[in-house]
Every structure is written in structure tokens, then in C-alpha cells.
Amino acid sequence: MNAQKRQQIFERLKAHNPKPTTELDYRSPFELLIAVILSAQATDVSVNKATAGLFQVADTPQKMLELGVDGLKAHIKTIGLYNSKAENIIKTCRLLLERHDGQVPRTREELEALPGVGRKTANVVLNTAFGEPTIAVDTHIFRVANRTGLAPGKTPLAVEKKLMKTVPETYRQDAHHWLILHGRYTCLARKPRCGACIIEDLCEYPHKTSD
């Protein structure tokens, strides 16, 4: 895909949604970090239902630690992998207090040193909480980047690197959210809604289907 097409894709995505953001509910970098850890292999809707109650009683690392693993599990048991997520979150809260004065760190290395935080989670926090132009490649972005021809790659890291190189700088900050939302609501996994797609004529997907 050439640079002109990429430019047009992001121009349209921006026109359609000028200020995209995450669909996770949060009020602080700490709440966002916890919500993103919980969102692995779970929907944002299910995470928001669980955190609505959780953040009422534990909106800081100290309060979360006081809940303990079992107390935390009671709030998140509707979410997949909640046992391991609870263990990781409690360990992460302990490290936030011990190493970072209870604050969420602002570097990738420090974020990825926290239990349950991989590259994708670190990218989301850096982008959404701290305004850095990172792109977290989840299943939606991986699919959209490959299917459209925007940034083909065999691994999430390969796609991320290609996007960081080819997305025009003006759009890099918001590219993450535009592509996730496009994959979530239009460029669906099983049957893309090509007929309802605002970038259909720019897409290089060979087997387009109409809605």
C-alpha cells in the first residue's frame, strides 16, 4: 500500500471519529492499567461491569492490596482467567508501592516489569494515559493491518513496527484507537462489513463482501 492511500485512510478515520479513545472505563492511570490487565481475552464490556464495583472500593494500589487476592477475585470472577489476573494485579500493586511510590511508571521497561503487563498493555497505558504515540497491536489491529494491506506482518510486533514506520506522524497518537474500533465494529473477523466501510475503496482485501 502506498503512502497516499495510508494518508487517505487516516484522514477518513479522523473525519469519522475526531477524538477516539478507549472503551474501557477509568479515571486514573492506575485504573486504566488494572482495566487493561483484566481485558486480556475478555471484552471491554465485561471488564467495565466488573470494574464499576471494584474501583468504588479499590482505586489505588494500597486499597487494591488491602483487598487481597480473594477479595479481588470476588469482584472479577465474571472475567476470563480471573485467578491468574488477580494474582498478577496484587503483585503489581505491591511493586507499584515498593518501586514507584504508588504511581504508574511512564516508561515501557518499567511497565513491562510489572506482573501481567506485556508489550501490548504497556503500549495502551503509554498511549491512553500518558499521550505517547504508541500502537498496541491486539487481534483487531492485527487483522485490520493485514487484511487492508495497511501494514502486513506475521506477528503483532512486526505489524506494530510497520505501523510505527508507515502511519503518518499526524495520526500516530490516535491510530491505535481508530484501528481497534474499525476492527471491532466494521472489519469483523468472520464477515467484514465491507458495504458499511468508510475506507472500502482504499482497502486491498481481495475477497470483499458486501453487507
Place of cell 518499567: 110
**Residue 206: which pLDDT band, with cuts at 50, 70 and 90?**
confident
Cβ-based neighbour number of residue 77 at 10 Å: 11
Q: Say what the pTM is.
A: 0.89
Please report which helix (H) or strand (E) contains residue 155, including its range.
none
The three cell numbers of residue 171 are 495520526
Judge: domain 3-20+138-202, CATH 1.20.1090.10.
Answer: no
The number of C-alpha atoms within 13 Å of 60 and in the hemisphere containing its C-beta is 8
For 93, half-sphere exposure in the C-beta direction (CA atoms, 13 angstrom radius) is: 22
Q: What is the mean pLDDT of residues 21-37?
A: 95
Residue 127 and residue 145: Cα distance in Å, rounded? 19
CATH architecture of 29-128: Orthogonal Bundle (1.10)
Cβ(149)–Cβ(206) under 8 Å? no
Mean pLDDT of 11-18: 96
Query: pLDDT tens across 48-83, in order?
Result: 999 999 999 999 999 999 999 999 999 999 998 999
Mean pLDDT of 141-149: 96
Active-site annotation, residues: 120, 138
Check: CB of residue 65 under 8 Å from CB of residue 86.
Answer: no
Q: Domain limits of the chain?
A: 3-20+138-202, 29-128
pLDDT given for residue 12 in this prediction: 96
